[in-house]
């Protein structure tokens, strides 16, 4: 039964991937049609055609190998320009594709400016960006469905746990022992259930803000005000400690940061489109940083291997 369930979920997952591919191609096709480009084919899959139907001037269909999809926009290859010299292999392939496409182009297509290359630059950009935009829209709707209907666990400004002592990293224990240094949070008098409202006179509106302030504080003084049982309590001033934490944008880097010694409450919260867009912006930024650093990391791995081999 577990095998059947796994196969079933695998088929559903693959089907959803193909749906996203189909929607991606629709993202290209719709603006192309709006701008008057002739679209002869819209296909999901590759290889021999399994099923198709013609609506207007476009053939819509499904092919036997569901490994992608495509939409044909007539006029992707402009007329051939005369060039001196012997054409290379790539030029020969492009010329073959050009000849095949132009065999289907009629004088009416040229006169009516139905070809992609005849469109204005901004229209071409809209058509080309339509596919990626559809992928972004799909991601937004999926995230909004999860965030809006079910919710996401998010850290709060209310403290759930206060670590009582600083345990050395090489210590083989999790409990405090005699002589251990109190954490800044314990020394300040923080308690579970306290809600932090001020950190160094800065009003706290979210745990992300509070975490950023603590990190940036390094080993400087920290004046904390909390709300406890309905009253504001000014805690004993302390100094945060410096520790190594993973960088927010590049988790592979360890950077120095201030440390207080608390864990926040995690609450299942729902959110609207603005929250979803903020989450997506953060994830996009982290992904771009990771992609930008990927070549450097590959180079470093290769260099390390070369040094090991030489040694």
Which residues form the catalytic set? 25
* Distance of alpha carbon 213 from alpha carbon 196, whole angstroms: 12
Could you give the C-alpha distances from 194 to 120, 158, 189, 224, 266, in angstroms and in order? 60, 6, 10, 11, 14
| E-state strands within the chain | 41-55, 58-72, 152-162, 165-166, 181-182, 195-199, 202-203, 221-222, 224-228, 231-234, 238-239, 241-246, 254-259, 262-269
* Distance of alpha carbon 97 from alpha carbon 72, whole angstroms: 12
* Distance of alpha carbon 280 from alpha carbon 272, whole angstroms: 13
% helix / strand / coil in the chain, to the nearest 5? 45, 25, 30
Q: What is the DSSP letter of 146?
A: I
What backbone torsions phi and psi does residue 285 show, to the nearest 5 degrees? -60, -45
Find out whether 44 and 25 touch, Cβ atoms under 8 Å. Answer: yes
In the three-class reduction of DSSP (H, G, I as helix; E, B as strand; rest coil), residue 161 is classed as strand
Find out whether 271 and 153 touch, Cβ atoms under 8 Å. Answer: no
In the three-class reduction of DSSP (H, G, I as helix; E, B as strand; rest coil), residue 123 is classed as helix
């Amino acid at each position: 039964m577990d095998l059947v369930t796994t196969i079933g979920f695998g088929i559903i997952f693959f089907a959803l991937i193909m749906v996203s591919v189909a929607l991606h191609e629709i993202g290209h096709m719709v603006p192309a049609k709006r701008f008057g480009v002739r679209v002869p084919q819209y296909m999901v899959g590759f290889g021999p055609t399994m099923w198709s139907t013609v609506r207007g001037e476009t053939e819509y269909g499904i092919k036997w190998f569901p490994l992608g999809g495509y939409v044909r926009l007539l006029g992707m290859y402009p007329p051939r320009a005369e060039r001196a010299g012997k054409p290379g292999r790539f030029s020969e392939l492009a010329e073959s594709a050009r000849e095949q496409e132009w065999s289907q182009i009629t004088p009416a297509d040229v006169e009516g400016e139905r070809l992609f290359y005849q469109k204005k630059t901004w229209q071409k950009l809209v058509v080309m960006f339509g596919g990626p935009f559809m992928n972004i829209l799909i991601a937004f709707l999926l995230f909004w469905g999860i965030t809006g209907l079910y919710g996401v666990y998010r850290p709060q400004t209310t403290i759930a746990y206060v670590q009582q002592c600083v345990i050395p990293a090489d210590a083989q224990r999790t409990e405090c022992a005699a002589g251990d240094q109190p954490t800044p949070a314990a020394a300040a008098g923080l308690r579970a259930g306290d809600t932090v409202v001020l950190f160094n006179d800065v009003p706290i509106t979210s745990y992300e803000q509070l975490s950023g302030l603590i990190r940036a504080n390094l080993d400087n003084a920290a004046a904390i005000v909390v709300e406890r049982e309905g009253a504001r309590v000014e805690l004993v001033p302390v100094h945060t400690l410096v520790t190594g934490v993973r960088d927010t944008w590049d988790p592979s880097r360890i950077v120095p940061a201030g440390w207080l010694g608390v864990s926040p409450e995690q609450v299942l919260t729902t959110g609207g489109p603005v929250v979803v867009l903020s989450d997506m912006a953060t994830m996009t930024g982290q992904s771009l940083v990771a992609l930008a650093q990927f070549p450097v990391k590959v180079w470093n791995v290769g260099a390390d291997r070369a040094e090991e081999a030489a040694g």
